[in-house]
Amino acid sequence: MDTPLRTVRTNIVQSIRAFRVQDLQEAARHLGQHFLYANLANAQSKQDVLDTIAAQFTFPSHFGKNFDALYDCMTDPLHKSGPQPGFVVVLEQIPAHAKFDKEAREQLLDIFRDAADYWADRKISFRCFYSFL
């Protein structure tokens, strides 16, 4: 199978551009990697975004629902749970309005950039794709 990820660096956060979610999911399956998907179209605020990600990524109930806790859930506990095969993450339709402004969007994407760096240090692939609403 020719994977759409063959031309994508292994530790990156980038716009979804011409990729289709279904193709990314199939590529993750083919590579034996985790596929994490969150559709944020109905989120209005930072709390909504965090709640949606937590629910769709099936975070534990003790998730702190802040950006620090998001980073923690994307890194250390997974690393401590054993060898990881890699990650393909899709954040679809990140809100782009006054209640979730440019600064909040950049903070969110920075969390995933930091997670990509964390996994790169451990030689584990972490690709995150996003789109804005």
CATH code at position 126: 3.30.370.10
Residue 69 lies in a domain: yes
Cα 40 to Cα 119: distance, rounded to the nearest angstrom: 24
Q: Is the pTM of this model over 0.85?
A: yes
Residue 4 lies in a domain: no
Helix ranges restricted to H, 32-123: 46-56, 67-74, 76-80, 102-121
Residue 100 lies in a domain: yes
pLDDT digits (tens, 9 = 90+) for 54-99: 999 999 888 888 999 999 999 987 777 888 999 999 999 999 988 9
Share of the chain above pLDDT 70, in %: 98
